Structure 1
């Protein structure tokens, strides 16, 4: 299974493709360099296979690479960051 995480700025979300099929997304509200994440969704066909974690990790890695920050209002993203504290430096208070 191959994962690809890409930003879709027109839809304000990061998407994960699994073997070229859209498997899920995490939606955000842009606030300058800060992205406020509101919702994460993984297609039922891909649940329980690590797709959600791969989506969040790929999203956070891309945001870190460009010097951005996040507000994890989405419970799934917030829980991922709590379990992976090496991403905590990306979190800022809500603007």
Structure 2
């Protein structure tokens, strides 16, 4: 099954929809300047194990790349997905430090 992923900035999320237009999953984010934080990925149980999460993660990373953003992967799914996709490592902030 093919899923169409789109950015819905007024809701702060990417949406994956099936061919009938049903929302199969979402990946939420927050943007501050050149930094985007991916906060949560959720897939409708009816669409689990069909590649929805991966489609969302790839779309989100390509969006960050196109917009020259640094990615902070707070979402465990996105973080694990990135561990398997080294081609995006240059976009990811892996270390944080406290600002005094």
Verify same fold: TM over 0.5.
yes
Correspondence 1:5 to 2:12: no
Number of equivalent positions: 95
- What's the CA shift string for 1:34-73, capped at 9, x where partnerless? 1111110000010011111111111111221221221001
1:24 aligned residue = 25
Identify unmatched segments of 5+ residues in structure 2. none
> Is the contact between residue 34 and residue 70 of structure 1 (CA under 8 Å) also seen in structure 2?
yes
Per the TM alignment, residue 94 of structure 1 is displaced from its structure 2 partner at its CA by 5.0
DSSP 3-state at the match of 1:56:
helix
TM-score, normalised on structure 2?
0.86
What root-mean-square deviation, in Å, do the aligned CA atoms of Structure 1 and Structure 2 show?
A: 1.5
The runs of at least 4 aligned residues of structure 1 exceeding 4 Å deviation read none
Identify unmatched segments of 5+ residues in structure 1. none
Q: Residue 94 and residue 15 in structure 1: after superposition, are their counterparts in 2 closer, same or farther (change >3 A)?
A: farther
TM-score, normalised on structure 1?
0.90
1:47 aligned residue = 48
Larger strand percent = 1
